[in-house]
Structure 1
Amino acid sequence: MSINFSFTRGWSAVAFGVALLGSTVAHAQDTVTLKMVGAWAPGFSPTAEVGKNFMENVNKLGEGKVKVQYIGADDVLPPFDQPEALVNGVFDVWYGAPNYWAGIVPGGDITELSPMTVPDGGPGSPLYDYMAKLYAAKGVRYLGHAAGDPGEGAHYISSNFAVKSVDDLKGKKLRVAPLTRHFVQAAGAESITLPPSEIFLAMDRGTVEGFSWPVADAFTRYGWQSVTKYMINQPMYRSGGSVAMNLDKWDSLSPEVQEILLKAIAETQNFALEWFDKNQKEQEAIMKEAGMEIVEISDEEKKRWTQVANDSLWAYYETTLGKERVDEVKALFAGE
């Protein structure tokens, strides 16, 4: 009798263990895993920390429910090919520069002109909802644009010629990003497109006489301070990092998981405000130590610089969105 009891008790323990293991496996299977690819790898690019921070927030807030798995950056797919791959469901989550979406979502980077502290106002704001609809029409779930305070982490012109006004850019050869080419062309300069890896040699050889770059994003890690004389201390646009999802994947998630992702991006947007300010100051200190001069222009020229930058970009958006929709965005920027 005791042998049978012992056997029964032992069998019950085994059965309980199997049931527990099964419960653990089922629990793991219930956790949604989202594959994430970014334009740049964390560690080298401060802007990539936007994607990393979002992943960490999701994994903390969504424990047992949802997790983000980082797959890679340009080692997986060239950055400019990544947005289309996201639309096609090759992976689930993406981070990179907002202007990378310009070819797929017309106006998808319009928050570069936003005067708000958080460029899109954050989840739940009218502007955020507007951006979400803009992206959804192209098969993308917009999650957010994270940047520094207006003026921090923005785009700047750096050069090997003295600059006191916008007029001094006229006729110069300047390397541009897709976003800044409108300003450069409006200033009468020649815009030249080059990947970041080619800027050093182009400046060193005089192939270009200046370039645009969001200084907070690893300016000195490329060594540009050793081949560049000046940075004109007048910020343009917002820069920062954008996070987006494949729309079908988003729609497949439960409302609870969707809410976790929205809370995670809101935390990332708050993180970015101080993060870009910190990196801006660090980069400028290294630039000065290397002998670069951070040039201050007059208040009058600062206003003019900003006017030319903003007017040229608004004019571009009118060609892609139409005046009526541009007016809608302007009203949202004004909180109307």
Structure 2
Amino acid sequence: MPPFEVGNAVRTGVVDMANSTGVFHANLVPETLAMTLTNKSMAELRANGGYALMDKLHRDKANMVWLARLSDGLEYHIYSNKAVDSADFSGFKLRGVPVYRPFFQALGATPLQVAPGEVFTALERGVVDGYGWPSVGIFDLGWQEKTAYRVEPGFYNVEVSLFMNRSRWEKLDETQRAFLERQVAWIESLNATAVEGVEAEKAQQLKAGITPIELPVEEASRFQALAQQAGWQALEQLSPDQVKGLKSRFGD
């Protein structure tokens, strides 16, 4: 199923449950982008009301239940075929998704939406100079063959979650819900180990010829500040009524 159709499939009940990311259904629940902007763990969000607020927004706007978050502390990176030594990416064409499109624009780059299955060819033909992607996973897609650099530091907090059709959830009896909630607690307990493979992946990238570019300290700070500023400004435009409550729970 094309990734940007998954949210609507859950909303309408074509599928009962999906392992997906809110990034792919931000057209239905724009506030879901806060789940990627946050640096807070899922445990913190459950404690401070962030989870309850985001779950309610999903129920009200998209007939969906936010069951669990399956990743925590995993960053995105910019991978590129052009070297850079600052937070100025003017002239770069970068493949992106809605959650970090405003950030790429703040860096001076031109963001392009390209389906994952087409990124290899886009890199090969020079349609894009690079792309945003998590610290892990590029070998699954073969992109290391067309990638020269990985920019450090990373940015944002990769969000992958379980979403369920609300109508289907409400048809479950108490025993079924209790069972599912126990599985949610168990799988979220594994988030603490989610980043254990990152250093091994980066070592594999280096071996494959992907050189890490460490931005100078001041530029790295500017890079990360731009990420947060651009992300929250975009969310304020998308959901002005909710951004204050979201930022108080999901923000720094």
Q: TM-score, normalised by structure 1?
A: 0.70
C-alpha contact 2:37 2:251 (8 A) present in aligned 1: no
SS of the aligned residue for 1:278 comes to coil
Asked whether 1:171 is paired with 2:94, we answer no
Higher RCO (C-alpha under 8 Å, 6+ residues apart): 2
1: CA distance between counterparts of 2:100 and 2:19?
20
How many residue pairs get matched? 251
Shift of 1:142: 1.4
Asked whether 1:110 is paired with 2:27, we answer no
C-alpha contact 2:48 2:249 (8 A) present in aligned 1: no
Judged with a 3 Å threshold, the aligned counterparts in structure 2 of structure 1 residues 95 and 83 are, in CA distance, closer, same or farther, namely same
Q: Give 5+ residue unaligned stretches, structure 1.
A: 1-76
Q: Give 5+ residue unaligned stretches, structure 2.
A: none
SS of the aligned residue for 2:226 comes to helix
Whichever residue aligns with residue 292 of structure 1, its letter is I
Asked whether 1:132 is paired with 2:55, we answer yes
Asked whether 1:281 is paired with 2:199, we answer yes
2: CA distance between counterparts of 1:266 and 1:182?
34
2: CA distance between counterparts of 1:273 and 1:154?
14
Pick the aligned partner of 1:312 from 217, 225, 230.
230
After superposition, the CA RMSD in angstroms is 1.9
Percent sequence identity is 28
Whichever residue aligns with residue 96 of structure 2, its letter is V
SS of the aligned residue for 2:98 comes to coil
Aligned pairs for 1:139-150 (under 5 A) are 139-149=63-73
C-alpha contact 1:166 1:187 (8 A) present in aligned 2: yes
C-alpha contact 2:107 2:226 (8 A) present in aligned 1: yes
Shift of 1:282: 2.8
Pick the aligned partner of 1:295 from 209, 213, 221.
213
SS of the aligned residue for 2:175 comes to helix
243-252 or 265-274, larger mean C-alpha shift:
265-274
Q: Which has the larger radius of gyration?
A: 1
Asked whether 1:206 is paired with 2:139, we answer no
C-alpha contact 1:219 1:283 (8 A) present in aligned 2: no
2: CA distance between counterparts of 1:174 and 1:89?
34
Whichever residue aligns with residue 231 of structure 2, its letter is L
Residue aligning to 2:175: 256
Shift of 1:304: 0.8
Pick the aligned partner of 1:242 from 155, 158, 161.
161
SS of the aligned residue for 1:142 comes to strand
1: CA distance between counterparts of 2:13 and 2:251?
35
